[in-house]
Amino acid sequence: MKKFKNIPKFKSEDDEREFWANSDSTDYLTWDKSELVTFANLKPSTKTISLRLPESILDEIKTLANKRDVPYQSLIKIILKERIDREHRTST
């Protein structure tokens, strides 16, 4: 039987997220008896910010959002996430 490592205590969710992103979970637990679980109403934590944009950019975003049939604020989040992911890929 495989001996598993102890899962460390984390100071924050960010620390835990970083740990699992860089660790092999099979060193810490077995997935043999795992079950799929759905968290229907789970939403990531959000923070409200104020962002000043030139009206022309906001108009373009609203036009793109309308074409995709998504709210413009959701499109802004999508675009930001895609760009962040691209930056991470090119910086490594």
pLDDT along the chain (92 residues), means of 10: 90 93 92 84 86 96 96 95 92 73
Structural domain including 86 reads 51-92
Please give the tally of structural domains in the chain.
1
Phi-psi bin for 69: left (phi > 0), alpha (psi -120 to 50), beta? left
Give the per-residue pLDDT at 48. Answer: 92
Alpha helices of 41-91 — where are they, by DSSP H? 55-68, 72-91
**Is 82 domain-assigned?**
yes
Give the per-residue pLDDT at 11. Answer: 93
**Is 60 domain-assigned?**
yes
Give the per-residue pLDDT at 31. Answer: 87
**Is 88 domain-assigned?**
yes
Give the per-residue pLDDT at 62. Answer: 97
Give the per-residue pLDDT at 18. Answer: 93
pTM of the model: 0.52
From CA 89, how far away is CA 81, in angstroms rounded? 12
